[in-house]
Amino acid sequence: AMPDERAVMTYASSYYHCFSGAQKAETASNRICKVLKVNQENERLMEEYERLASDLLEWIQKTMPWLNSRQTDNSLAGVQKKLEEYRTYRRKHKPPRVEQKAKLETNFNTLQTKLRLSNRPAYMPTEGKMVSDISNAWKGLENAEKAFEEWLLSETMRLERLEHLAQKFKHKADIHEDWTQGKEEMLQGQEFRQCKLYELKALKKKHEAFESDLAAHQDRVEQIAAIAQELNALNYHDCMTVNTRCQRICDQWDRLGNLTNRRREDLDAAERILEKIDLLHLEFAKRAAPFNNWLDGTGEDLVDMFIVHTVEEIQGLIVAHGQFKATLGEADKEYQNIVNLVREVESIVSQHKVPGGLENPYTTLTANELTRKWNEVKQLVPQRDNTLQTELRKQQNNEMVRRQFAEKANLVGPWIEKQLDAVTDIGMGMSGSLEEQLGRLKNLEQAAYSYKPHIEEVEKIHQAVQEGMIFENSYTKYTMETLRVGWEQLLTSINRNINEVENQ
């Protein structure tokens, strides 16, 4: 405890009496002044200790809450700011306090030494300001500093990892979103409905490649979701933004998967339709070509000119035509089957609105063309019937004329030959007198002139033969030419023989 003023005066009085007997009063005075000076210095040291101790303890008390605080905005920048503040504290604010503590301890030791040398009782600081109190407070400060620094470094490492994860999340999300750019619009496109079959198959190959690409990107989406989950687990400060973006990516991924499956189904359905149309076109081409050739050949046959000379020949044609007509039922079935192929194509094209679906890439033939030719054939068949029947009647008439001619020619021919033989016999003068020969020749001449109507009748029948353009007659060996020659020869021979007999 500090000495009060009365105690000081008592000491001074004691010293004075003590030194009153000294040799010189001045010496005693100097000693008293020296003692007073020492006491004043001790009091100053005590006051300074109290002041420094109070100030240091107050600073420690104010600093501890800051060092014990673990609050942060959970951002790397915030923690780095705290770390910089801590470094500033250690660089600027702490060193003066270290010096203050050292000075405090030095002053306390110096004071205690002086008191001991002066045989004064040891100095006892105010309660709570003992050197041990200050040491304990300082030790607590240093422990808090260590814990705070460790927390800052740990938090920095944690947030650096978070920032790294956040950057990794952003990088992968950026790449993924760049890749998905325009993919939904592409998958929703309906351009395949305007495609030909070969173009659609190429689109399917392209879609299969996209499906493979999509499957490869599944891992990236899973990584993005895993990083977002880790950021949430580590309490990243901007989790809301991360979660929103992650959810958007996952939702879009689900949509892409659904759209991919739907497009695959649409492409498969469109391919089945186009393949069905293609098969129908191919079947039409395979069946239409031979049927068209048959129609062309049949049409030519039905209008083909024919030349017959007998009833047998025209009857052969009629039989063949009858056989042909017997095949028209099967031909009509084939025609209906072929036309039904086109009708089925038209139905599919109309139902599914397939552009260009009616165009057949395998043939230039059309159902309309086949229908036109088929109708022509059906019209030509009865016409051919009429033509054949007309020709049959003509040949039957020719046959009748042929028989009539043969019947008459077979009478006229032998009669002319017989008359010629008779004239020849007379001309040879083998029997009878000249008068008898002449009489017989006159009789032959008269018989010939009497027979002329038969010749004229043959000529008339021959006129019908010529009109019917009958060139052969199997019923007689005589032709009109031979009959004419024989008749002319008969008349000439009779006249010549008559002249010869009359001139004898």
- For the chain (504 residues), the mean pLDDT of every run of 10, in chain order, is 61 60 58 71 81 88 88 78 86 88 85 80 80 89 91 85 89 92 88 82 90 91 93 86 93 93 91 91 94 93 85 90 92 94 91 85 91 94 92 88 89 91 77 78 88 90 84 86 91 88 76
Residue 412 shares a structural domain with residue 339: no
> Does 149 reside within a domain?
no
Question: Which residue has 């029947």 as its token pair?
Answer: 389
| Inside any domain, residue 56 | yes
Q: Would you state the pLDDT for residue 228? A: 93
Looking at residue 17, what is its pLDDT? 63
* Same domain (yes/no): 264, 367: no
- 494, part of any domain: yes
**Is 158 part of any domain?**
no
Residue 270 belongs to a domain? yes
Statement to judge: residues 273 and 167 lie in one domain: yes
218 and 124 inside one domain:
no
Check whether residue 222 and residue 183 sit in a common domain: yes
Is residue 348 in a domain? yes
Those residues with Cβ within 8 angstroms of residue 175's Cβ, 6 or more apart along the chain or in another chain:
220
Is 402 in contact with 312 (CB distance < 8 Å)? Answer: no
Per the confidence metrics, is the pTM higher than 0.85?
no
Are 312 and 260 in a shared domain?
Answer: no
- Based on the fold, state whether residues 27 and 111 are members of the same structural domain: yes
Q: Quick one: DSSP state of residue 120?
A: P
Contact 52, 125 (CB under 8 A): no
Count how many domains the chain has. 4
Task: Supply the pLDDT for residue 72.
Answer: 77
CATH number of the domain enclosing 381: 1.20.58.60
Please classify residue 365 by burial: count the beta carbons closer than 10 Å to its beta carbon, then call 0-12 exposed, 13-18 middle and 19+ buried. Answer: middle
Claim to verify: residue 123 and residue 200 sit in the same structural domain: no
Residues 272 and 314 in one domain: no
The residue with tokens 């173009």 is 199
231 phi, psi to nearest 5 deg: -60, -40
Instruction: Give the separation between CA 74 and CA 235, rounded to whole angstroms.
Output: 8
CA end-to-end span of the chain = 223
Q: In Å, what is the CA distance from 251 to each residue of 192, 229, 382?
A: 26, 16, 75
- Pair 256, 301 in one domain: no
Per-residue pLDDT, 9: 66
Amino acid making up residue 488 = E
Whether 61 is covered by a domain: the verdict is yes
Q: Where in the sequence is the domain holding 43, given as residue range(s)?
A: 15-128
Domain boundary among 278, 301, 316: 278
Domain end among 75, 101, 128: 128
Confirm if 70 and 158 have CB atoms less than 8 A apart: no
Q: Are 385 and 481 within one domain?
A: no
Under 8 Å between Cβ of 138 and 60:
yes
What is the rounded CA–CA span in Å between residue 314 and residue 150?
124
| 344 contacts 278 by C-beta, under 8 angstroms | no
Residues 297 and 210 both lie in one domain? no
> CA 365, 371, 376 angle in degrees (round to 5)?
115
Q: What is the pLDDT of residue 437?
A: 81
Residue 153 included in any domain: no
Mark which of 390, 420, 437 sits at the end of a domain: 390
| DSSP assigned state of 431 | S
